[in-house]
Amino acid sequence: MIRLFGKFKFRLLSLFILVSLIITGCGSDFASPYSASVLASEMAGRGFTAELKAESFASDLCVITENIPVEGLELSTQVESYLLIDVNNRTALAAYDVNRQIHPASTTKLMTALVALENCSMDEKIVLGEEVTGFAYDETVLPGKVGDVMTMDQALHFMLMYSANDIANSIAVHVAGSIPNFCNMMNEKAAEIGATNTHFSNPHGLDADDHLTTAYDLYLILNECIKYEKFVEIVSSSEYSTVYTNSQGKNVDKTVRSTDLFIRTDKDVNPPAGITVIGGKTGTTGKAGHCLIVLCRDSAGNPYISCVMGTADTDSLYEHHKMLMNLILNG
CATH value at residue 170: 3.40.710.10
Output phi, psi for 206, to 5 deg: -60, 145
Chain center to CA of 220: 6
- Given pLDDT bands bounded at 50, 70 and 90, which one contains residue 75? low
For residues 108 and 186, give the distance between their C-alpha atoms in angstroms, rounded to a whole number. 10
Same domain, 10 and 158: no
One domain for residues 13 and 106: no
CB atoms near residue 30 (< 10 Å): 20
Whether 12 and 112 map to the same domain: the answer is no
Q: What is the pLDDT of residue 64?
A: 85
Answer yes or no: is pLDDT of 1 > 70: no
User: What b/e string do you get for 122-143 counting C-beta neighbours within 10 Å, with b at 16 or more?
Assistant: eeeebebeebbeebeeeebbbe
Q: What is the mean pLDDT of the chain?
A: 84
Same domain for 107 and 27: no
Asked whether residue 159 falls in the same domain as residue 275, the answer is: yes
Element (H, E) at 46: helix 36-46
Same domain, 143 and 31: no
Number of domains observed in the structure of the chain: 2
155 shares its domain with 299: yes
Return the minimum-mean-pLDDT range out of 11-25, 206-220, 245-259: 11-25
Range of the domain at 19: 2-46
Tell me if 70 is assigned to some domain. no
- The verdict on 189 and 318 lying in the same domain is yes
Whether residue 52 lies inside any domain: the answer is no
User: At residue 34, does pLDDT exceed 70?
Assistant: no
Mean pLDDT score, 17-35: 33
As a whole number of angstroms, the distance between CA 115 and CA 193 comes to 12
Residues 173 and 236 in one domain: yes
Q: Does residue 41 carry a pLDDT above 90?
A: no
Report if residue 164 sits inside a domain.
yes
Q: Where would I find the H helices in 87-237?
A: 109-119, 152-162, 165-176, 179-192, 215-225, 229-235
Distance of alpha carbon 275 from alpha carbon 322, whole angstroms = 9
**285 and 138 part of one domain:** yes
The answer to the question of residue 63 being in a domain is no
pLDDT reading at 24 higher than 80: no
Q: Residue 57: inside a domain, yes or no?
A: no
Query: Which region among 50-59, 76-85, 182-191, 234-243 has the lowest average model confidence (pLDDT)?
Result: 50-59
In a domain, residue 161? The reply is yes
30 plus 95 within the same structural domain: no
Verify that 123 and 13 share a domain, yes or no.
no
Asked whether residue 191 carries a pLDDT value surpassing 90, the answer given is yes
Label residue 78 by pLDDT band (50, 70, 90): confident
What was the pLDDT predicted at 77? 63
65 falls in which pLDDT band (50, 70, 90)? confident
Angstrom distance (rounded) from CA 299 to CA 172: 38
Query: Of the given ranges (158-162, 172-176, 229-233, 265-269), which has the lowest mean pLDDT?
Result: 265-269
Give the C-alpha separation, 275 to 91, whole Å.
18
pLDDT band at 33 (very low <50, low <70, confident <90, very high): very low
